Amino acid sequence: MSHLLRSAADACRPWLALAGFGGALLGGAILVHGQGPSVGSTPRGLPPVVHPKDNPPTDAKISLGKQLYFDPRLSRDNTISCASCHDPEKGYSNADQFATGVGGKKGGRNSPTVINSAYFTFQFWDGRAKTLEEQALGPIQNPVEMNMTLPEVVEKLNAIPGYKSQFKEVFGSDVTSDGIAKAIAAFERTVLSGDAPYDRFLAGDKGAMSEAAQRGWALFKGKANCLACHSGPSLTDNAFHNIGVGMDRKAIDDGRKAISKLGGDLGSFKTPTLREIARTAPYMHDGSMKTLEEVVEHYNKGGVVNDTLDEEIFPLKLTAEEKADLVTFMKEGLASPSYPAIKAPELPK
Ligand code: HEC
Ligand code: HEC
Q: What is the pLDDT of residue 285?
A: 97
Just give the CATH number of 194-333.
1.10.760.10
Name the catalytic one among 89, 133, 134, 145: 145
Any ligand 1 atom below 6 A from CB of 119: no
C-alpha–C-alpha distance, residues 183 and 19, integer Å: 33
Q: Which ligand is nearest the CA of 253, by number?
A: 2
Give residue 123 CA to ligand 1 midpoint distance, Å: 9
Average pLDDT, integer, range 325-336: 98
Q: What is the pLDDT of residue 17?
A: 30
Tell me the domain boundaries of the chain: 14-188, 194-333
Question: Which tens digit of pLDDT belongs to each residue from 111-168?
Answer: 999 999 999 999 999 999 999 999 999 999 999 999 999 999 999 999 999 999 999 9
Give pTM, 2 decimals: 0.90
Q: Whose alpha carbon is nearest atom 40 of ligand 2?
A: 226
Question: Which tens digit of pLDDT belongs to each residue from 168-208?
Answer: 999 999 999 999 999 999 999 999 999 999 999 999 999 99
Would the CATH topology of 14-188 be identical to that of 194-333?
Answer: yes
Q: Is the pLDDT of residue 266 over 90?
A: yes
Q: What is the pLDDT of residue 274?
A: 98
- Range with the lowest mean pLDDT among 51-55, 57-61, 246-250? 246-250
Mean pLDDT rounded to a whole number for the chain: 89
Q: What is the pLDDT of residue 47?
A: 96
Any ligand 2 atom below 6 A from CB of 148: no
- In DSSP notation, 37-97 reads --TT---TT-PPPPPPTT----HHHHHHHHHHHH-GGGSTTS---HHHHSBGGGTTB-SSS
Which pLDDT band holds residue 41 (cuts at 50, 70, 90)?
confident
Any ligand 1 atom below 6 A from CB of 83: no
Question: Which tens digit of pLDDT belongs to each residue from 57-106?
Answer: 999 999 999 999 999 999 999 999 999 999 999 999 999 999 889 998 98
Query: Which atom from ligand 2 is nearest to the alpha carbon of 125?
Result: 17
Any ligand 1 atom below 6 A from CB of 275: no
Average pLDDT, integer, range 10-36: 32
Q: Is the pLDDT of residue 3 over 80?
A: no
Give residue 297 CA to ligand 2 midpoint distance, Å: 12
Any ligand 1 atom below 6 A from CB of 273: no
- CA 22 to the chain's CA centroid: 25
Give residue 152 CA to ligand 2 midpoint distance, Å: 38
Is 14-188 in CATH node 1.10.10.10? no
Any ligand 1 atom below 6 A from CB of 181: no
Q: Tell me which residue of 144, 143, 180 sits closest to 160, measured CA to CA.
A: 180
Q: According to the 3-state scheme, what is the secondary structure of 275-328?
A: CCHHHCCCECCCCCECCHHHHHHHHHCCCCCCCCCCCCCCCCCCCHHHHHHHHH
Q: Whose alpha carbon is nearest atom 36 of ligand 1?
A: 82
Query: Which atom from ligand 1 is nearest to the alpha carbon of 74?
Result: 38
CB 149 within 8 A of CB 141: yes
C-alpha–C-alpha distance, residues 312 and 225, integer Å: 7
Any ligand 1 atom below 6 A from CB of 244: no
134 is catalytic: no
C-alpha–C-alpha distance, residues 53 and 99, integer Å: 33
Which pLDDT band holds residue 4 (cuts at 50, 70, 90)?
very low
Q: What is the pLDDT of residue 99?
A: 86
Which pLDDT band holds residue 12 (cuts at 50, 70, 90)?
very low
